[in-house]
Copies of this chain bind each other. A is one copy, B any other.
Amino acid sequence: MNNDSASRIVAAVRDKIRTAPPGARLPSTRELVAEFGASPVTVQKALRTLAAQGLIDTRPGVGTFAVPPRTARRADYGWQTAALGSPSARSGRLSATQRASTPDTVRLHSGYPTTDLLPSRLVRAALTRAARTEQALTPAPAAGLADLQAWFAAQVAADSPAGITPPAPRDVIVTPGSQSALSSIFRALVGPGAPLLVESPTYWGAILAAEQTGVELVPVPTTPHGPDPDDLARAFDRSGARAFYAQPTFANPTGGQWSAETAESVLDVVRRHGAFLIEDDWAHDFGIDADPQPLVSRDGDGHVVHIRSLTKSVSPALRVAAVIARGPARDRLLADRAAEAMYVSGVLQAAVLDVVTQPGWDTHLRRLRPELRLRRDRLLEALRAEVPQMHVEHVPAGGLNLWARLPEGVDVDGYVRACEAGGVLIAPGSEWFPAEPTGAFVRLNFAGEAPERFSDGARILGETLRAHLPRGFAG
C-alpha cells in the first residue's frame, strides 16, 4: 500500500467532484485503477478516505457518487472575544532575537551560537548512544536523572570554599531549558502580584516569564560591575520583595560581571532581607577573559537559587537546564515542575550527560574561548571602523553579546527596521528594559554569524545609522 499514490488519487477525485454536478456518478474502482496505474488496494484506501471526509457515497453494487456539498461557511471566532476577555500579559509578539532570517542576512540578533561553535560530533554521538539505552523508552523521574543531578551538583561543589556545605544532588531539579526554570521559580517562589527585584537592563526572557506569571517587576539599576548594594537594599525595603533576579556573570545584554566585593555585598543584602537571589548563570560556559564564579558556591543557607543551562553550549535541541534550590524552596519548585510538565525527556538528559562527561567536552570548551574572543574582537573592530557613533561602553569578558549605545535621539525601532531592510538583523535594546529604556541601545550577538561577515554587516549598520542621526547631530 502506497500512501503517496493514495493521496494523489484522493486529490484528483476531489477535483472531479468540484466540477461534477452534485450526485454525479464517479468512475468505478476498475476505472480508477486504470486511470492512475495504482493497485485496487490503493484505490480502495483513497475511496475510504474520501468517504470518511463525506465527499463521496459508495453504494455497493450500484456505484460511487459525489455527495452534494454543504456550503462550507467561514469560521466565526467572534464568540471567543467574550470567552477569553482581555489578556493579562502583553501580547505574545516574538522577541527580535527569535526573528527568522534568510541566508543573505547578516545575523547579529540571535541568542544562539552558530552550529560550528557547538560540540556537534559529541552531540550526534551522544544522541545515537542514548537511542540504544533504556532512557529512550521509559519515563524519567520528576526531578531528573540521578546521574545528571549529581553532575550539576558537582559543578557547584568544585567551586565551594571549605566551611560551606555545597548543594547535594537532590537539590538539583532538571528542567527543559532555562525559560521553564524561570517560569517555575517566579510562580513557585514569588507568586502572582508579589514584587520581584530585577537588574535593569535584564534578560528579556525573564521579563516575559515574570509577566506571564503576574509577578510585579521592580527594576534596580545595574552596571557592568553589578548593582549598587545600597540601591538594592533600598529597593528591598521599599517593595517588601523577597527575591532578586540577577545575572552576576557575563550578563545578557551588558556582558557585565560582578566583582567579588559586589557579589559579597549583594549576598549580605539578600541575607539581611531574608530573600532569595535568583542567579541566572546562563553564560557559565562562555568565559573569554575571565572565569565564572557562581555565587551559589558561597551560599550554605539556600538563599541562592541557581539556574545553569546547557541549551546554548551543548545544543539548542537538547533543551536541558537545572535549578539548584535548597530547603522548602526546592520542594515548592519540584511541585510546580511536576504539575507543569511531569518530567523532562530522559533521552535528552542522557544525551546531555554523555556530552559533558566526555573528555572531548573539556577540549571543546578550551577551543571555544579563543573562537569567542576572535568574534568579539572582530565585531568590536568592525563597529569602531564603520559605526563610530555606536559606543560599546563595556568590553565583555565573556558571553555572546555586545551592548551598544546609539547617539541620543535616534529612533531605535526605526533604525533596527531599516537595518533589517538593509540586510542586517540586530535587536533593539528596549526588550531588555523592564521599564522605559534609559538610552538608545542595541544588542549585537557576535556568536550567531560567521565573523567574515562582520565588516559587511558593520558597513550597513554605519550607513543606515548616518541616515537615522537626529538633525544637528555633530558626533
With A139-B317, A316-B139 as given contacts, are A79 and B274 in contact (CB-CB < 8 Å)? Answer: yes
Give the chain B neighbours of A139 by CB distance below 8 A. Answer: 112, 316-317
CB A323 to nearest CB in B, in angstroms, measures 14
Interface size on A, residues (CB 8 A): 109
CB A249 to nearest CB in B, in angstroms, measures 16
Give the chain B neighbours of A127 by CB distance below 8 A. Answer: 127-128, 130-131, 136, 347
Tell me the A58-87 residues at the B interface (CB within 8 Å): 67, 69-73, 75-77, 79-85, 87
Which of B52, B75, B158 makes the CB contact (< 8 A) with A53? B158
Give the chain B neighbours of A386 by CB distance below 8 A. Answer: none
Determine the distance from Cα of A332 to Cα of B89 in the docked complex, in whole angstroms.
10
With A163-B72, A274-B83, A318-B345 as given contacts, are A339 and B89 in contact (CB-CB < 8 Å)? Answer: yes
Interface flag for A124 (CB, 8 Å): yes
With A161-B54, A274-B83, A335-B91 as given contacts, are A180 and B340 in contact (CB-CB < 8 Å)? Answer: yes
Give the chain B neighbours of A136 by CB distance below 8 A. Answer: 120, 123-124, 127, 315, 317
Which of B77, B140, B340 makes the CB contact (< 8 A) with A317? B140
Tell me the A291-321 residues at the B interface (CB within 8 Å): 300-303, 315-319
CB A99 to nearest CB in B, in angstroms, measures 12
Interface flag for A200 (CB, 8 Å): no
- Most B-side CB within 10 Å, residue of A128, A192, A276: A128
CB A259 to nearest CB in B, in angstroms, measures 18
What residue in chain B is nearest A312 (Cβ atoms)? B139
Interface flag for A435 (CB, 8 Å): no
Q: Is the CB of A341 within 8 A of B128?
A: no
With A75-B301, A136-B123, A189-B84 as given contacts, are A205 and B131 in contact (CB-CB < 8 Å)? Answer: no
Give the chain B neighbours of A300 by CB distance below 8 A. Answer: 73, 75
Interface flag for A92 (CB, 8 Å): yes
Give the chain B neighbours of A176 by CB distance below 8 A. Answer: 176, 341, 344-345
Determine the distance from Cα of A192 to Cα of B89 in the docked complex, in whole angstroms.
13
Give the chain B neighbours of A438 by CB distance below 8 A. Answer: none
Interface flag for A162 (CB, 8 Å): yes
What residue in chain B is nearest A160 (Cβ atoms)? B53
Determine the distance from Cα of A135 to Cα of B317 in the docked complex, in whole angstroms.
7
What residue in chain B is nearest A56 (Cβ atoms)? B162
Q: Is the CB of B158 within 8 A of A52?
A: yes
Interface flag for A13 (CB, 8 Å): no
Partner-contacting stretch, out of A207-215, A223-231, A280-288, A415-423: A207-215
Give the chain B neighbours of A135 by CB distance below 8 A. Answer: 317
Q: Is the CB of A274 within 8 A of B329?
A: no
